[in-house]
Amino acid sequence: MGSVEVAVAVIGAGAAGLVAARELKREGHGVTVFEKSGKVGGIWVYDPQVDSDDPIRGEETQLQVHSSMYLSLRTNLPRPLMGFSDFPLTEESHYGDPRMFPGHHEVLSFLNHFAAEYGLLDLIRFNTEVVRVESSLTENGRRWVVDAVASGGIYSKDVFDAVVICNGHVTVPRLPHIPGVEKWPGKQTHSHNYRVPEPFKDEVVVIIGSGASAYDISRDTAKVAKEVHLSSRSPLAKLSRLNAYPNIWLHSGVVCANGDGKVTFQDGSAVHADTMLHCTGYNYDHSFLKTNGSITIDDNRVGPLYKHVFPPDLSPGLSFVGLPHKTILFLMMELQSRWIAQVLSGKVSLPSKENMIADIDCYFRQMEELKRPIHQTHFLFNPEEFGYLDWIAQQVGSPAVEEWKKEMYRKVIKQIECHDDEFRGD
């Protein structure tokens, strides 16, 4: 069967949007990328500004700052795991930061080079925010209408054969409920608004979370804070002091906050804190996407989606790139994009709608049996992360993930989980 060329809108020009555009272009599709900022790179673009409104206090807020990048951020994965299969981020071809775990400026330079190398910049409508995506059935099949607003309030409406959603998921804060926090007198913020440690000078800071951002920010704030108390809901978390940091303590989860300024932990300890800094992740947000209920977000479960990419009711015209966590992200986005491009061209077929739904139902049952909460739907836990990548690779005729990459990834993740401050090697 000959390949089919379709007109595709890509929402976002971060890493996911760029590699999606590259794969779609390679497959011969017509590509238009919508990017609300004036640059490529998405979350890798450092912005010293922060949102002025405070969603933690329940204020009405309109998020204006997309990036959640802090100044000291370095990659959690080493260079060999940060590039694309045929466009690696090597030490030899670095952009000014040759470290094995480079800073965010290095990754942004890499993405700019990638976009220029594959002629993607001419495909991008910069400073153009998508405000509505909706499909309609025509005599020629389902089409997708994309409404957007460019600089100066210039409105546009375009029709496409397909839309690929690549708008990222590290912008809208996900916030926990802490009993008593309404009367707690201290300050609260989310890692979305964290940039530098200086505002926390001489403070007692409680950092809530156990992910990479909590790990980094606790070390960053400890340089200036009086005390840093890192709280995790992990069953392995026990009250202890980090050996390399005399002013960082590890705690179990927060039980409550009190009107006297005290924050109490499950391990029975308590501290009088000046600030609570929530490193509690982010919510998926596709508020511009109108599907009449075919796609919903329930406790961070976007779906239903076949293999985290295609909604059975609306495939193949609608797809998502970059939703899953806990894997080699750039490689995952590349493989997802290649799969989408080949499905749209007719080289690869999707299962029937009924079979896709059955596969999704099976996955949800497995989650229930393993007692995984709904909000972890898009987490790829070991060993799923590589089974997923290898499965997509097989669909598109690409090689499976090399064993050395798998071993490198597992080693780094284990070091991070063990709070090994030497995992970056410096």
Determine the pLDDT at residue 60.
45
Q: What one-character-per-residue DSSP string does 281-330 give?
A: -EE---TTEE-TTSSEEETTEEES-BTTTB-TTTTTTEEESS--BSS-HH
* Across 180-198, average pLDDT: 95
Which carries the bigger pLDDT value, residue 199 or residue 93? 199
Return the pLDDT at 240: 87
Residues 319-334, mean pLDDT to the nearest whole number: 96
358-411 residue pLDDT tens: 999 999 999 999 999 999 999 998 777 899 999 999 999 999 999 999 999 999
Q: Are 240 and 180 in contact (CB under 8 A)?
A: no
Express each pLDDT in 116-127 by its tens digit. Answer: 999 999 999 999
- Tell me which of 27-36, 51-60, 147-156, 331-340 is least confident: 51-60
3-state SS class at 30? strand
CA dihedral for 8, 10, 13, 17, sign (positive or negative): negative
Q: Considering the entire predicted model, what is its pTM?
A: 0.94
Alpha helices, DSSP H, located in 94-141? 104-117
Largest CA distance in the chain: 71
Alpha carbon 384 to its chain's center: 18
Residue-averaged pLDDT of the chain: 93
Separation in Å, CA 237 to CA 233, 268, 308, 415? 7, 13, 31, 15
End-to-end CA distance of the chain: 53
pLDDT in tens, 302-315: 999 999 999 999 99
pLDDT confidence tier of residue 105, bands split at 50, 70 and 90? very high
pLDDT per position as a tens digit, 40-95:
999 999 999 988 655 555 544 555 788 899 999 999 999 999 999 999 998 887 89
Give the pLDDT score at 1: 42
pLDDT for residue 63: 56
* 279 neighbors 217 (Cβ within 8 angstroms): yes
Considering only residues 61 and 185, tell me which one the structure prediction assigns the higher pLDDT: 185
Count of alpha carbons within 13 angstroms of residue 328, beta-carbon side: 30
pLDDT of residue 8: 98
Q: Which residues contact 235 (CB under 8 A, 6 or more apart)?
A: none
Name which residue leads in pLDDT, 423 or 19. 19
Tell me, what's the pLDDT at 79? 96
pLDDT at 2 over 70: no
Q: Select from 71, 43, 74 the least CA-distant residue to 423.
A: 74
Under a CB-based contact definition with an 8 Å cutoff, are residues 213 and 89 in contact?
no
User: What's the pLDDT score for residue 62?
Assistant: 55
